[in-house]
Chains A and B, each alone.
Chain A
């Protein structure tokens, strides 16, 4: 049963469970969609996460006093999101300076770097939520045998656009930042681009695959993106295209 948790007087968190799990997240996304369609006047915005959806509202608006009950009704009746989000195939330069932890991760799971990259590129990652910093996607689905805990001592600076993993999670750092996740590569794409009307590349519910590129292709795309010449749509995968399950 969904639970209603108070987050102060201007937000409710509707919690569906306590795990990182695609089926649970589908319920969260189904609720987020039903909430959007309900267009309740007191609601300001909603934030889907791994296992819950936080609903920020105006406590002085009409209907605010009964919003909690309304959210629980929606949570009980909302269907799981059958539709997947968008599908992306995102270029990544793996290893070397771009991915200084790839060698150690490969050694840890007794695989070659090439085999690790092959596993990464054969996996569809689900964007569970964005947070930590603007546009930072928490993606799940890293094969268990590649899992390693975060670094004991976080780096003072993780370069922007680094692809990083910890446990079975995967992410891209939109901006340079301190960080303790293990760096496996870097994408040439700006994943939070304020020149775009919707700056975040990813949204909760999206699915992402990686495509290994060499340093020449990386440099070419990086320069093009810096000049605003790369269309994001070019990295979308058609819904009917083959996709791993």
Chain B
């Protein structure tokens, strides 16, 4: 029988995401999909899924879920307080198999983002080839909105064998966010281009899946071109600058076209890092060449493949797993201590 997960509490900002919805941008449909595709791939690999399977993207507070039917293996990529029924052992960066009636609760998410994957994937009906949620248009996912109490998530075909896996956290490189200049870098003063490469910018509170508005020095448009353009195509990573000079770094849910000049665009390899940016975080930028951008992508793909290769079995749920107990799971018993 197909497993079903009941949402007891949706948490804050939890959406269903996958690898996104390419192919419909000419109709104004955003790409969407996971803000952090590498961690989505990690969570899916721990659960035994293909990289882009639909999983839950967690932002502020994770959900509380109950297995309403069947047997379900969960896996978490990211840092958060976690708790599961029956004093089972569960921690970030590992999997756990729950039986019908069991609950799993994820508390505050640290580091801006985490993914909870479910073996077999979440099997809601795809829309335009994707299960990704686009909140602004109310498309995809669960009725186009964030997860809410009472939702029932169908689980794709899977036969959890009770074996669990784990890996160390997938860490990102640090250093400045790398940019390719353009498409409208010539619409800005030389001083603005210098400022972008040399100064620090701060993520404002105006930050969501569409983009991050940045505080910091203003980027001044060149008077010869004015501060708007006849709308052209945009993409996640584009750094568009409205007339007030405060840049907006576009993310996965961004529109498909826009009328503000774009001084530069973040390279694909650094988009996953931007998913972790929280209000108040400081960002620095550095321009690189196209060759460097492509090399960074290749290196990142190789690192992800090696990480997936390094996933190791761990003690089955219910077994004594001291490492996990001491690392992150101490809260588990406390939350569910009243349960039989």
Which A residues form the contact surface with B (CB < 8 A)? 5-11, 13, 15, 18-20, 44-54, 56, 59-60, 64-65, 129-136, 138, 175, 192, 194, 198-200, 203-204
Contacts and interface: CB of A to CB of B under 8 A. Distances in A.
A59 B294 contact: yes
Contacts, number: 140
A7 B262 contact: yes
A6 B25 CA distance: 18
B22 A9 contact: no
Interface string B117-154: 00000000001100000101111000000000000000
Contacts of B266: 8
A13 B183 contact: yes
A7 B237 CA distance: 9
Nearest to A12: B183
A204 B266 CA distance: 28
Interface stretch (B50-58, B73-81, B226-234, B324-332): B226-234
B26 interface: yes
B195 interface: no
Contact of A8 (B30, B232, B238): B238
Interface of B: 22-30, 127-128, 134, 136-139, 180-184, 230-235, 237-238, 255-258, 262, 265-268, 290, 293-294, 297-298, 301
Contacts of B128: 194, 199
Given A52-B233, A59-B294, A60-B301, A133 B136 contact: yes
A240 B255 CA distance: 36
B268 A59 contact: yes
B231 A138 contact: yes
B297 A59 contact: yes
Contacts of A132: 28, 255, 257
B231 A129 contact: yes
Given A10-B268, A13-B183, A59-B293, A130 B26 contact: yes
Contacts of B182: 5-7
Contact of B27 (A59, A134, A175): A134
Contact of A45 (B26, B136, B139, B267): B26
A138 B262 CA distance: 20
A9 B128 CA distance: 25
A45 B235 CA distance: 12
5 contacts: A5-B184, A13-B233, A130-B28, A133-B28, A134-B27
Contacts of A65: 294
Given A7-B262, A10-B268, A59-B297, A54 B232 contact: yes
A174 to B, nearest CB: 8
A18 B183 CA distance: 14
A85 to B, nearest CB: 12
B257 A134 contact: no
B254 to A, nearest CB: 11
A147 to B, nearest CB: 16
B268 A56 contact: no
A131 B235 contact: no
B293 A9 contact: yes
A48 B26 contact: yes
A124 B233 CA distance: 25
A134 B28 contact: yes
B127 A131 contact: no
A71 to B, nearest CB: 13
Given A129-B257, A194-B139, A7 B235 contact: yes
Nearest to A52: B232
Given A15-B232, A51-B232, 9 more contacts: A5-B182, A7-B182, A7-B183, A19-B230, A129-B231, A130-B256, A131-B231, A135-B29, A192-B27
Nearest to B179: A8
B235 to A, nearest CB: 5
A64 B164 CA distance: 39
B231 A45 contact: no
A19 B231 CA distance: 10
A176 to B, nearest CB: 10
Nearest to B182: A6
A40 to B, nearest CB: 15
Nearest to A24: B230
A7 B290 CA distance: 11
A60 B26 CA distance: 23
Contacts of B230: 18-20, 49-51
Nearest to A18: B230
